[in-house]
Structure 1
Amino acid sequence: MVTRPTAVAGSFYPGQRGRLTRELDTLFEQADRPPAQVSPARVKAIVVPHAGYVYSGTTAATGYELLRGRPINRVVVLGPTHRVGIRGMALAGADAFDTPLGSVPVDPDLTAIAEAVPLVVTRPDVHAREHSLEVQLPFIRTVLPQASVLPVAVGDALPDEVAALLDAVWGESDTAIVISSDLSHYHSYDDARKLDAGTIDKVLALDDTVAPNRACGCFSLNGLLLASGEHHLTPTLLSARNSGDTAGDKGRVVGYASFAFQADQ
């Protein structure tokens, strides 16, 4: 059995089980309440940030709360590559991902389906130090402790190429999709709020032309936006802030938002 070890435990989030559990409890307590039009039972996908928990954890928890305790057995997680650039999408070649809360199994059936999708390759090196997927796993382990996952690192890929993967692994109500993305990077607080407001408008309009300088996970995000139109999902903004609102300097911030994508009926 091949297990992908943690790479950023102890830096992006607590590396000890007890401390991590307490941190997650606090983040969920502080999470924003969803708008009235969001019905958790109809939420198929969420978009959540992937910075250190002290910066973006509350925004992420707001999205994950909608998955808590639901009959979801499998979670597809797509996030950007920060360290190893690739064309296409990469699987980890692992049977499980380690976390301080215990290992999270990689779903073998979804893996087999994904392997047959064009531009999907198996590249353990792409996953080895990547944080955008790892930071999501303690949240998933907390709200869906029995779920298996399909972590996919997405490099340079067109919306229709990512949407083809999502279509292949879409599944039924027992399968959820998580897109890991932050928004703009390293602008002043006021400039970031304006830039991020424009990106949020694009997401809510299912406009799949979000640029890399507006969302670091734009390739995964644009794929979801295209697929959501085809699958009749409606996006709703759950929470938006930036690192200047949490633990960062207002002179140079990173933007965060969480969204829910739910079926019409």
Structure 2
Amino acid sequence: VAVDLVERVHEQMTLDFIGQDQEHSLEIQLPFLQMVLPEFKLVPLMMENQSIETCQGLAQVLARVFAQGNALFVASSDLSHFYDYDRAAKLDRRALEDIGRYDAVGFARDVATGKCEACGAGPIATVLLATKALGGDKVTILKYANSGDVTGDRWRVVGYGAAAVTRSA
């Protein structure tokens, strides 16, 4: 953990330090990061309050803290949960359209109004806002699937998407 960077974030925003929590998104991402990045420092953040105002505030702090140097921002979230295949695909398509347009505010609004779902909508919106503030200018949707694509059970599926934010050279 990059304690110095966590402290810099904490100086600008109230953080509660969590010891034992049921959230598991970091544990899911860590093996992938370890495979592709032999050495890295981590600033793990979890968001309880995922309002757009909180996302905007955190994104501003992250943009200031990471203005110098290189950083990889990772937000982890499922998309829709437990709809039939077609309904899930429709909800998830809306989420990925917002994300692909680099529209954090529209994405947050669509989640709030039920037009799409993501349990980690706050982290996704925050990453979109922070990376845009740091010069990101393009989002590419890399892959979409739901659990029905893997298991064949199309009655109750969970949606997943992958996207990358990049900056033109």
Q: TM tier, shorter chain?
A: 0.7 to 0.9
User: What's the TM-score, normalizing by structure 2?
Assistant: 0.84
Is the CA contact 2:60–2:133 (under 8 Å) kept in the aligned structure 1? no
Aligned to 2:43: 150
Partner SS for 1:239: strand
Identity of aligned residues (%): 34
Partner SS for 1:245: helix
More strand by share: 1
Partner SS for 2:4: helix
TM superposition shift of 1:142: 1.2
Aligned to 2:27: 134
Matched, 1:184 2:88: no
Matched, 1:116 2:11: yes
What does the per-residue CA deviation read over 1:80-124, in whole Å, with 9 as the maximum and x for residues that have no partner?
xxxxxxxxxxxxxxxxxxxxxxxxxx1122122122132322222
> Residues of 2 paired with 1:244 and 1:159: CA distance?
31
Partner SS for 2:43: strand
**Residue pairs, 1:1-265, within 5 angstroms:** 106-125=1-20, 128-157=21-50, 158-208=54-104, 209-210=107-108, 211=111, 214-233=117-136, 234-247=138-151, 249-265=153-169
Structure 2 CA distance for partners of 1:164 and 1:119, relative to 1, 3 Å: farther
TM superposition shift of 1:228: 3.2
> Residues of 2 paired with 1:188 and 1:118: CA distance?
40
Is the CA contact 2:67–2:134 (under 8 Å) kept in the aligned structure 1? no
* RMSD between superposed Cα atoms in Å: 1.9
TM superposition shift of 1:172: 4.4
Aligned length: 158
TM superposition shift of 1:189: 0.5
TM superposition shift of 1:230: 2.6
What does the per-residue CA deviation read over 1:43-102, in whole Å, with 9 as the maximum and x for residues that have no partner?
xxxxxxxxxxxxxxxxxxxxxxxxxxxxxxxxxxxxxxxxxxxxxxxxxxxxxxxxxxxx
Aligned to 1:39: none
Q: State the one-letter code of the partner of 2:123.
A: S
Contiguous gaps of at least 5 residues in structure 1: 1-105
TM superposition shift of 1:218: 0.3
More helix by share: 2
> Residues of 2 paired with 1:135 and 1:165: CA distance?
25
TM superposition shift of 1:248: 6.2
Structure 2 CA distance for partners of 1:184 and 1:141, relative to 1, 3 Å: same
Is the CA contact 2:63–2:133 (under 8 Å) kept in the aligned structure 1? no
> Residues of 1 paired with 2:69 and 2:6: CA distance?
18
